[in-house]
Amino acid sequence: MSALKETHFQFAGQTGFYRGKVRDVYYFGNQMAVVATDRISAFDVILPRAIPRKGQVLNQIAAMSLQKTADIVPNWLRSVPDPNVSIGLRCEPFAIEMVVRGYLAGHAWREYRAGKRTVCGVPLPDGLRESDPLPQPIITPTTKAMEGHDEDISRTDIIAQGIVSEYDYAQLERHALVLFARGTELAAQHGLILVDTKYEFGKRDGQIYLIDEVHTPDSSRYFHADGYGQRQQNGQPQRQLSKEFVREWLIENGFQGKHGQQVPVMDDNWVRTISNRYVELYEQMTGQTFAELDAGAMENRIETAIIHAFA
């Protein structure tokens, strides 16, 4: 299977370009075309192999989620002219990510297991087990690094350091918690539990906008609702829908993004497994059959879609 690792387009009217961990962004004044490539990152490191179909999965789930949350807070998305492309407004991003957690899993669990009872200034009770629900959803923000690792940070430090004003941060908190409640409702409709997720926000003309992807398997963690309680009671691992399985594989093979560590080799079978898991995620989260497209024509298709969008 072919994969789209990166793009190198040059468009009439293009005013800038930015390559993120996963997306290639083409600027056109106060608008932008965002190409969801098949790159995959973990521990803030771009892995060497791209994952076929991943970009299409993420872009389509994000678009649907943005449309289903637009009544809560305005968002950047304006159109989706191609399965791998989104067109939207250019906003000035806040330099933090709002991570909302409803269950103890992933990074928070690893910190808790190590003995910490405070995450990003938020206290956690004793006696929790991995995958247990938290007393109520909590916000554990991180800095948003242009390069390298995002870092945990508290609400108090964000405001004290002037990263976000107290007034704006209060709005971000409110938006994030309401979005998480909506995401929880949408997940339940498809037999899933929204465990944790991240939201990114930006400003445009003084207005706060929801930006980037929303409720995707890269930005979120889901459990299968069916059997959740029984698995917790028995102390069994939860069935997850997220890219956590990729992180776990990397950890098992001695990689957590730390200095001097080498990314383990991802062979064709493992790449195919990851690709299939993303398709499974798409179908579970949307209730729709994934539409296979001609991967060989992907770059021409994407380029044409962007040209037409800004014609």
pLDDT, tens digit, for every residue of 235-276? 999 988 778 889 889 999 999 988 889 999 999 999 999 999
Count CA within 13 A, CB hemisphere, residue 75: 26
Phi, psi of 89 (to 5 degrees): -80, 145
pLDDT for residue 205 is more than 80: yes
Confidence label for 146 from pLDDT (cuts 50, 70 and 90): low
Mean pLDDT for the stretch of residues 146-173: 90
One-letter amino acid at 159 equals I
pLDDT for residue 214 is more than 90: yes
Report the topology of domain 93-246.
D-amino Acid Aminotransferase; Chain A, domain 1 (3.30.470)
Average pLDDT of the residues of the chain = 94
CA dist., res. 311 & res. 308, Å (int): 5
Mean pLDDT for the stretch of residues 200-212: 97
Residues in contact with 102: Cβ distance below 8 Å, sequence separation at least 6, in sequence order: 133, 134, 137, 180, 184, 193, 194, 195, 196
What per-residue confidence (pLDDT) applies to 53? 95
pLDDT for residue 306 is more than 90: yes
Report the DSSP beta bridge partners of residue 82: 85
Q: Is the pTM of this model over 0.85?
A: yes
What per-residue confidence (pLDDT) applies to 177? 98
Top pLDDT among 293 and 194 is at 194
What per-residue confidence (pLDDT) applies to 3? 93
One-letter amino acid at 59 equals N
Do the strands 45-46 and 77-82 form a parallel or antiparallel pair, or are they unpaired? unpaired
Q: Which residue has the tokens 């690893």?
A: 110
| pLDDT, tens digit (0-9, with 9 covering 90-100), for 43-93 | 888 999 999 999 999 999 999 999 999 999 999 999 999 999 999 999 999
What per-residue confidence (pLDDT) applies to 149? 64
Mean pLDDT for the stretch of residues 279-291: 91
What per-residue confidence (pLDDT) applies to 270? 93
| pLDDT, tens digit (0-9, with 9 covering 90-100), for 292-301 | 888 778 999 9
Burial of 306 (0-12, 13-18, 19+ CB in 10 A): buried
Residues in contact with 268: Cβ distance below 8 Å, sequence separation at least 6, in sequence order: none
Query: Coil, strand, or helix at residue 144?
Result: coil
Count CA within 13 A, CB hemisphere, residue 130: 17
